[in-house]
Structure 1
Amino acid sequence: MKTKIFPAVLVRIIFLMFLSHNIFAQPQMWESSWGIGFGGTYPRLMGITTPMISEDENFGFYLDLNRSFNENLSARFRPSFLHMESSYYQDSDQKIVKTNLLSGSVDFLYEIFPCSYISPYILTGFGFQVFRPTGAPSKKIDKTHFRYQYDLGVGLKIYLSEYWKLNTEINYLTSSHNYLDGNIQKNELKGLFKTNGDSYMTFSLGVNWYFETGEKSNICENPSGLREKPNQIIEHNTYITNNYGSEPKEIIKKEIEQVEKIILFGVNFEFDKSTFLPESYPILKHLLTVLQNHQEINIEIQGHTDNYGTDLYNIGLSQRRADAVKNYLIDNGIDSKRLIATGLGEGYPIADNNSSRGRAFNRRIEIKITNEDKINIPLLKQSKESIILDTIVKHEQNLIAKSTKLGEKLIFTNIQFNVNSDIITESSKHILNDIKEILSKIPDFDVEIQGYTDNDGDEFSNQILSEKRAISVKNYLVQKGIAVHRLTTAGFGESKPISDNSTQEGKAKNRRIEFVIIK
């Protein structure tokens, strides 16, 4: 079959597939799901050695029933209808062959980057065909035929919302017989694996709706923050003073643990690379500040991975990532003599690699103090004018609340929400649970919960989003037992940044929740 080439379409598809590798945003994932879909198709008969010529008057549509088994692997049943045309010449006259094809196939899909907004995938499948060519050179094939087909393809899933995805795909399908284009020569070379079966390609575009979902997946939610291992216990009293000059009141008496090893969850990298993702920089900055303030500390930076890949490869990857952290610290003024970088691969898991959450904990950077004498790092600074809450410690919890000294404000930049939503992420609920405990210990204080955003998007939408997120935090705390009359909310959108919105690190700081003592 002689075919025309569509370079513009192919170039665009290839470009999108490369582009998708660089998308670092993380959509909501489900451990399993059911979905349905529909869309339009442009089919085209293909071939290498045949006198038939593919024509352009082709069209089709399809329906999908999807079943996702995990974050990467899914199956679908796709019934479709296609109309394809081809032509041949007889006595110098062009003759048109029209083929109407009804097919159904079962395909298996593997998503390569499921945590990206644009996720490429590959597929293969097997199915049936019912078709009838009309206008063929041989009248014996001008009837209904039942055959089977197999296919290979590539595609993109584009995340629209938690339950909707845009889907685009290119497939190459081969029939079990050579009647599809109306030509029955036995010496044709057309199908996959150099078979004689007729082949055709399809380009499709459609949408999928996921009507039933399983548990929310943590595969895209790398834990963020610090988790400390205890050495010895030091008691601190923490005080707060309002702006009206009243005497400080004791509100918390908390055990703070001396740090010998810090596990830096949330220092995340591009897939299979040692390049930091933007959300890593606030945590790296926190580590940098500690090292700048404590010149006596020497550390070993240890890289760890989960068990995906070979042992040798994971050793190399963990070493490159540990080196990346070391180089960041050196570039920001830390003496290289104080730093050692070691890649330990998958050999020291701290959680079960059989679950996505466990693998997320095992993909980590650990900071180990190498000085023989234990260094006492103050985790909680107290004064009569303000409270600075740097760390909330909980067994087996991934918690850090970074705060800024702004009078009576506690600023949390790691209370996170689903993308463009006021739904609080599961990891952030652990932080809010600790805030609830703090508020329970200071029943005489009322607070205003203030929401802020970065400058992505339009100003009006950011204002509404910040208000809704502040209300969500309030509702969560009320559900946990905090009296509703103690809590008020306000949203300020992008209007009051505390950092530069021109950098990803700055934007991460500006997406925040502030708690302000108002009584």
Structure 2
Amino acid sequence: MKGLGKKALVTALAAVAVTPSYATDSVQHTNEISVMGVYIEPDDDRSDEYGSAVRAIYGIRLDRHWWLEPTFFAGVIETGEQGGPDFFQQGLGMDISYRLFGDAEFTPYGLVGLGVSRNDVANNPASEFDGYANLGLGVLTSPLTESGLRLRGEVRYLYDNYDDGLFDWHFGLGITVPIGVTRRQVVEKVTVIERPVVVESQRVIELADSDKDGVVDGVDQCPNTLAGLQVDALGCVKTDQVQSVVLSGVKFELNSDRLTANARDILNRAADALKGQQDLDVEVAGHTDASGSDSYNLKLSQARADSVRNYLIENGVNPGQLTAVGYGETRPIASNDTEEGRERNRRVEFNVISE
């Protein structure tokens, strides 16, 4: 409250957010597990019959579209011979997949990968370990449950180097279950207008601005903005210009990349800021003073930048928003001839990656 005089009337302009006209959910998780039943159409040189298998996939998110997928499958291929041997086949490999859309949508995907295969024929002591390669196309449904369970279907063309090379088709259908950190954000369309507000003569109601970015909470669409970054009219960090802010207080144990307890508290607030604006991409920049060799300082600064990035990801930040780079002693902001200057040079910065 502020006194304004007994008879004075004050007219001010206040920004008012109109209720949202639409809202969408954005669900993201770090990892997932898929289990699928597989029908195998084998190479004619292997068999004229069919096969069946089980495939397990562990999905690791790299960013919104790219996933790394370690995979294991095991199955049997019928030979059609009465009482004759069947093929027993296993494979362990690594795929890289690209999904067109996000976690909350129906999305097609493509994949490519390599692995190690084992082919064993029943009643035959000979078995062979070799390699395989596969290409695949598939689809994931939108989530069917609150936990994020989805159906997954795919077809793979698999080249197995066994027996001078065999080509098989794998048709899979199963479920995908998310694991790791899951979060949901409502994205709202907001219209901002200005209207005059008449304030009583002896008091004015101060509008709250929790993150001190100059945009009141009722309008601020990106809460918990880090101090020192320029924001737009909706309180979101401007991504069309180069910006940088030093994370004051983010320190490490001596000659180590281990964060101090106080540093973790500061990074918790930084994580909240990044989760509040998921289109904000930043470079986590590590810097050292000039003590020690150039190569040692470069390695230490990279390890510290990676440590900050990993901590933010563990606290729910999308990995695709973060890039870690160590600059060693190459970018000082103060003289290395004094202890005060060296302390200022030992720092971690957020550099906004402009659009």
TM normalised by structure 1 equals 0.31
Higher helix share goes to which structure? Answer: 1
TM-score normalised per structure 2: 0.43
The structure having more radius of gyration, on CA atoms, is: 1
